[in-house]
Every structure is written in structure tokens, then in C-alpha cells.
Amino acid sequence: MRFGFFLRRKVALAGFFFIALLLVVAVAAPFLARIPPQTLNPVDKLQPPGGAYLFGTDNFGRDVFSRVVYGARTSLTGGAGVVLFSTVLGVLIGAVAGYFRRTEAWLMRLVDVMMAFPPLLLALVLVSILGRGMVNVIVAVGVTYLTRTVRVVYALTLRIREEPYIEAAIASGVRPFDVVARHVIPNMLSPIIVQATFTFAFSLLDLAALDFLGLGIPPAVPSWGNMLSEGRMYLTRAPWLLIFPGASIVMTVLSFNLAGDVLRDRLDPQLRRKVEGV
């Protein structure tokens, strides 16, 4: 893959740079955060940014910078979990429904029923049933994006199964499940990767929304959604409690959307020709 394509997209390149920076921050959180995110210091509560506290302190005297840094780790872990859950199951269900016609009716109608519910509402219902916690939240949000992945993979499978090389594999005696695993799924990796980037971006919003509503991970765990929920009471007195986690969410979602756009343009031959002017 030529990197000149990415260098011509300056905004997208900035998005990739921010994602790389965010990954470094999440991995190096224990080294970057001088003060542990759970350390309480009531004497220094609601201190403005500057001095000993780069991003200020919250109403409990906790260092906002440390909580933002550790919140990056929490948010990326949750987003990666949602992508892994929705992509793996979505690819399997979509490929099976698209290739094996007997399963198409009931699998896709079940997906249609799930897509009839607003994603956040469906996530709220599932979290209410499963309970709070990182794993339960990942499953709840992952189910809402599972349906989108299924629809994409299903449509691709319907097209790929009519290709001559699929007919040749069947004629040579390859078993149906081997055809799906060796020929169908590998030939749709590019759109799956693009779909995964958009899933990551929008799942961060849903994870933050659940945390903000008090239905996500426990409040004691530093996350951007929890920080917004706790800081909304101090909007006028300490706006930095909302500015820094809110800006982190906006920049992360924007960066993943930009990355998804440039990957889509690069991996799709028709879009690549238009972008490159071929």
C-alpha cells in the first residue's frame, strides 16, 4: 500500500496521528499520570488548570489529567471489545445467512427486528438486563452494531457467491463451510475493516452515553463518560471538568471517522480511481 495516498490527505493524516498518540497515551498511562486517578485531595478540589494540575481537579480533588489519560485506556478497551464482538459474530452470521439460503429467512428477519430499535435504546435495555460492568456494556453495545455488520457482510456474500471462482471451488468438491471460510470471507476483508473503523468511532459515543446515564461501568472507574456525568453539575463553576473529557471524545470519534473515510477510499478500487484522478 503506497503511503503517498495518505500524505495527500492532510486531515486524514492528522486523524491517524491522533489515533497513534491516543494509543501511546493509553499504553503509557501509568507513566504519564503523575498522580493516580483515584487519589482524593479535598483541599485542592476544583482547582483550575495549571500549576501542579495540568487539567485542574474535580470536586473530590482528583487530578483531571490522570483521569483523562486513564479514561483513554478505558474507552479504547471498550471500543476494541465492541469491534471484536460485533465483527466476529457479524461476519459469521452474515456469511452464513448469505451463503446458506435455508438460514437466510430467520437470521435476517431477526436482524431486521433488532434494527427496528434505536441503537442506544436497545443498548439501554440490554444493560438493564445484563447489569453494569465492562463486559456487559461491551456485549450490549456490540449487539447494536452487530446488526450493521451482518447487513454489510450479507450483501457482500450474496454478490461473492455468484463469482466464477466460487463455482469452481464448489465443482472441485470443496465443502460449503470451507468455501465460506477460504473464499467468501477473505474476499470481503476490505469493507469489513472499513466497517470496523466506523463501528469503533460510534461505539465510543454509545459507551460514553451509557456511562453518562449511570448504566455503564462503575463511577469509580475513570472513563470519559463518567467524567462528563460527574462534571455536569459544575458546568459554570468548573467548565474544565467537561471540556477535557468532551474534547477527548470528539477528537477520538472524528479521528476514527477520518481514518475510516481514507481507508474506504484506498481499499475500494472505484473510489481510489476517482480520488487519484485515474
pLDDT at residue 144 is higher than 70: yes
- Whole-structure pTM value: 0.84
Distance from C-alpha of 196 to C-alpha of 198, rounded to nearest angstrom: 5
Is residue 81 a contact partner of residue 196, using CB atoms and an 8 Å limit? no
Of 105-119, 177-191, 258-272, which range is least confident?
258-272
Average pLDDT over residues 163-186: 83
Closest by CA to 110, choosing from 60, 82, 147, is 147
Sorted by sequence, the CB contacts under 8 Å of residue 184 that are 6+ apart come out as 95, 98, 99, 157, 160, 161, 166
Q: Does any domain span residue 44?
A: no
pLDDT at residue 84 is higher than 90: yes
Please report, to the nearest 10 degrees, the dihedral formed by the alpha carbons of residues 94, 96, 102, 103 taken in order. -60
Total domains present in the chain: 1
Q: State what percent of residues in the chain have pLDDT above 70.
A: 91
Q: Does any domain span residue 148?
A: yes
Distance from C-alpha of 249 to C-alpha of 202, rounded to nearest angstrom: 10
Average pLDDT over residues 145-163: 88
Grade residue 85 by pLDDT with cuts at 50, 70 and 90: very high
pLDDT at residue 270 is higher than 50: no
Q: Does any domain span residue 127?
A: yes
Placement of cell 476494541 in the chain: 80
Is residue 207 a contact partner of residue 74, using CB atoms and an 8 Å limit? no
Q: Does any domain span residue 49?
A: no
Q: Does any domain span residue 38?
A: no
30-65 pLDDT, tens per residue? Answer: 888 888 888 888 888 888 888 778 888 888 888 899
Q: Where are the alpha helices (DSSP H) in 100-118?
A: 101-115
**Dihedral sign for Cα atoms in the order 42, 46, 47, 53:** positive
Of 59-73, 142-156, 250-264, which range is least confident?
250-264
Grade residue 181 by pLDDT with cuts at 50, 70 and 90: confident
Is residue 241 a contact partner of residue 58, using CB atoms and an 8 Å limit? yes
Q: What is the CATH number of the domain that holds 254?
A: 1.10.3720.10
Owning domain of residue 253 = 4-33+54-276
pLDDT at residue 19 is higher than 70: yes
Q: Does any domain span residue 39?
A: no
Q: Does any domain span residue 268?
A: yes
Q: Does any domain span residue 234?
A: yes
Grade residue 274 by pLDDT with cuts at 50, 70 and 90: very low
What is the pLDDT of the chain when averaged over all its residues?
A: 84
